[in-house]
Structure 1
């Protein structure tokens, strides 16, 4: 008689060192999948193997187990979002209740999904009946039990010492970067920009942190400087650079990106198209400024604005005059830019790391809004960018000297146009939409620049000359 299982069950893989992992039981899916990141292939005795790490517990990225298994196949699998990707396939014994049998698993990053594992019908055929109204028919696991099971599973930090220099440690993006570094075995330190200070000395420059702590043993600093502290944050980044510490985005590149007018001028110099833009200092030039960009409707942008703040759509010439003159009365510097109607409230965010677009999403404005912004109720979805858009993104980041950048593009009838380049791009929207480990890619970039490599667990069996990556 077949055993009955629920819509979710606790499984285990003793040969992978995973005593408990919660699986979603999905008879609608053919294949089974397990969460995996830091996936690396290598050869052992002439056979292709894969090394990967697993977060076995949901909403817990600090508990990490490293696994190795021989690769049995590579398959193209379509995710729930409809995107096909090639995944490695391993075969391993699984325990569920009193049953133990060999199943095939595809390796995929499931950090943004509801479960660390999905058990498909191919692995269950002939073994179980599913009662979707029940859960954990084969037994529940308590929090205390899970803590004991994985007490040995925390990542050992034997790598680099990396500081994240930012303002808010609780921000999603900052949390992800800290977690990603810890996952890869590094010591991560959060530095509040306002709590740092420096000693200028030709022979012995120093950076200090609150309480008098000298920051002298850092390998790298991830610079995420909010606009309100650009001057001081860049001064600190410059100090670390003078000390020989690697910064992910240099002080010079951040300064260029924060000056919207200068950055647009650099874009044009690099051959990148932008919406027609006007800039003036005197309120006497308002009418000519409006006509310069094709008249209303038009966009008015504060030079110091960020994340959609300080951006106004003026639908008529009278409204444009009122907004421009009001801003100028406050002595605020602003840009006037043509309104691209055919964009229909959508833009594209391309995430660039070291001259490569690693992810891209389309952002759609919330109902009643004209500008796509996920901070103001907009939505994000995966988008396939064109070769022209890819080239534009890479060129834009390079023009400003940014190793890490969020490049915003708008599609017009005349081709892609650059809106702006962000030197501290957010991770939440793009990681959720693409299910990619962008934070991990940022840490990997630091590793590559510093020549740091994580050593595989069984070097005696592996041939270093025959390693794939």
Structure 2
């Protein structure tokens, strides 16, 4: 425990390979007390639970360059604090680090262990092991009373990072958060008494807002549910029509071109007889071939020669699969930019780099992500793209070319893991705040 910070218990991983201990921290801000440099930060001491958020302050002890487990060096703030291990209390150095993606909120390094403990690598929790009930008791004072809205996350998998983060953030702000599985909900159409029911017959019609997190395979059904919620007076963060437009890559591309948004030259044809001219139309090979139903980089092919392009295009057409053909922007060098737009503002942006041997930047396929400062032109492009599709929340993908920024596509259910880890920003919280603003909800002052 850290009595100084009011942290009654935190699960730590013993790592004798690391010199300095570290603790999960976010919202890190430097400030001064007289002439001394201090740091203010927040700790979420329990994994997968940001509703418990402890604000801490400490004097800055040092600033050091630390190499992460991915081999990336970054400057971290180092503090000193007394830690309690069993009956022993002693000062240790702690680096403040984003450990949201790690299993343990704290790492105990060898400096804290030297001349104090022997490490038994075959055993766990030798001092104490707390149950969930024990942890609930220790953190009872931090649990917020639900005094807010009733918000549902409409999705398919409650264990996905993005879905868990949204639920955590909503609860942290005092709202009642419910997970609704798209495939377990069904509807009653009636002019006087429309209903949505959940498996088992429970009627679900008392939500203030719905946050849709829709996977492509259930788009049609999920959008029907969203229209039903909308008809019953529930606010949907992204509406059904907007999601449908964003998922139709051909329609979205036509809307972008119509509204003078710069996109890579793109072609679409029905007959194999037009394949050769289609390839010429997008400046020839190499070129990109996209399935209209593709997602997260799947169904996107690079054809490096004209012959390969003809073969792939004609193969898709022979099985009546619709595709787009798009020019390949070589100077992008396997990089793209994801802009996260909420209510007409770019709230975060990251640069994604394709994995070695891949042509498309995708963190789901081994790519990497880092924080980036976008240009005013890129910001304007991202905001306009989201507005054209009428999406309050959108992930807008852009590449840099010799002609300036080009719009690749817009995602109506953008993931949070990559961009939160890359930027250190609490995007889920921003989404909840957007709902509060739309519904004119004000937190009660305590």
**Would you say same fold, with TM above 0.5?**
yes
Asked whether the equivalents of residues 151 and 177 of structure 2 are also in contact (C-alpha less than 8 Å), the reply is: yes
Asked whether the equivalents of residues 51 and 168 of structure 2 are also in contact (C-alpha less than 8 Å), the reply is: no
Find the aligned partners of 2:362 and 2:53 in 1 and give their Cα distance: 37
Find the aligned partners of 1:69 and 1:379 in 2 and give their Cα distance: 31
Equivalence for 1:261: 250
TM-score by length of 1: 0.77
- CA spacing shift, 1:212–1:451, aligned 2, 3 Å: same
Find the aligned partners of 2:105 and 2:443 in 1 and give their Cα distance: 24
1:265-304 mapped onto 2 (5 Å cutoff):
265-304=254-293
Equivalence for 2:25: 35
- Report whether the alignment pairs 1:215 with 2:204: yes
How far off its partner does 1:223 sit? Answer: 0.7
Asked whether the equivalents of residues 34 and 105 of structure 1 are also in contact (C-alpha less than 8 Å), the reply is: no
How far off its partner does 1:149 sit? Answer: 5.1
Equivalence for 1:62: 49
Asked whether the equivalents of residues 263 and 400 of structure 1 are also in contact (C-alpha less than 8 Å), the reply is: yes
- CA spacing shift, 1:132–1:250, aligned 2, 3 Å: farther
- Report whether the alignment pairs 1:375 with 2:364: yes
- Report whether the alignment pairs 1:392 with 2:376: no
Equivalence for 2:134: 148
How far off its partner does 1:319 sit? Answer: 1.4
Higher relative contact order (CA 8 A, sep 6+): 1
1:59-208 mapped onto 2 (5 Å cutoff):
60-62=47-49, 64-67=51-54, 99=89, 110-112=99-101, 116=105, 130=114, 141-144=127-130, 148=134, 150-153=136-139, 155-158=143-146, 159-208=148-197
How far off its partner does 1:235 sit? Answer: 1.1
Equivalence for 1:46: none
Asked whether the equivalents of residues 22 and 96 of structure 2 are also in contact (C-alpha less than 8 Å), the reply is: no
Q: For each residue in 1:83-108, what CA deviation from the matched residue of structure 2 results, as whole angstroms up to 9, or x when unmatched?
A: 789x9x9999876765588x999987
Q: Which SS does the other structure have where 1:300 is aligned?
A: strand
Find the aligned partners of 1:51 and 1:197 in 2 and give their Cα distance: 47
The RMSD of aligned alpha carbons is 3.8
Asked whether the equivalents of residues 43 and 55 of structure 2 are also in contact (C-alpha less than 8 Å), the reply is: no
Asked whether the equivalents of residues 78 and 84 of structure 1 are also in contact (C-alpha less than 8 Å), the reply is: yes
- Report whether the alignment pairs 1:12 with 2:2: yes
Find the aligned partners of 2:265 and 2:391 in 1 and give their Cα distance: 24
Find the aligned partners of 2:10 and 2:215 in 1 and give their Cα distance: 41
Question: How many pairs are equivalent?
Answer: 423
1:411 to 375, 400, 409: 400
Asked whether the equivalents of residues 299 and 312 of structure 1 are also in contact (C-alpha less than 8 Å), the reply is: yes
Q: Which runs of 5 or more residues in structure 2 are unaligned?
A: 30-38
Q: Which SS does the other structure have where 1:444 is aligned?
A: helix
- CA spacing shift, 1:232–1:147, aligned 2, 3 Å: closer
Equivalence for 1:429: 418
- CA spacing shift, 1:24–1:454, aligned 2, 3 Å: farther
Find the aligned partners of 1:208 and 1:34 in 2 and give their Cα distance: 40
2:324 to 320, 335, 345: 335
Asked whether the equivalents of residues 12 and 108 of structure 2 are also in contact (C-alpha less than 8 Å), the reply is: no
2:353 to 354, 364, 367: 364
Find the aligned partners of 2:270 and 2:126 in 1 and give their Cα distance: 68
TM-score by length of 2: 0.80
How far off its partner does 1:334 sit? Answer: 1.3
Find the aligned partners of 1:211 and 1:149 in 2 and give their Cα distance: 32
How far off its partner does 1:163 sit? Answer: 1.1
How far off its partner does 1:261 sit? Answer: 1.4
How far off its partner does 1:215 sit? Answer: 0.8
Find the aligned partners of 2:372 and 2:119 in 1 and give their Cα distance: 36
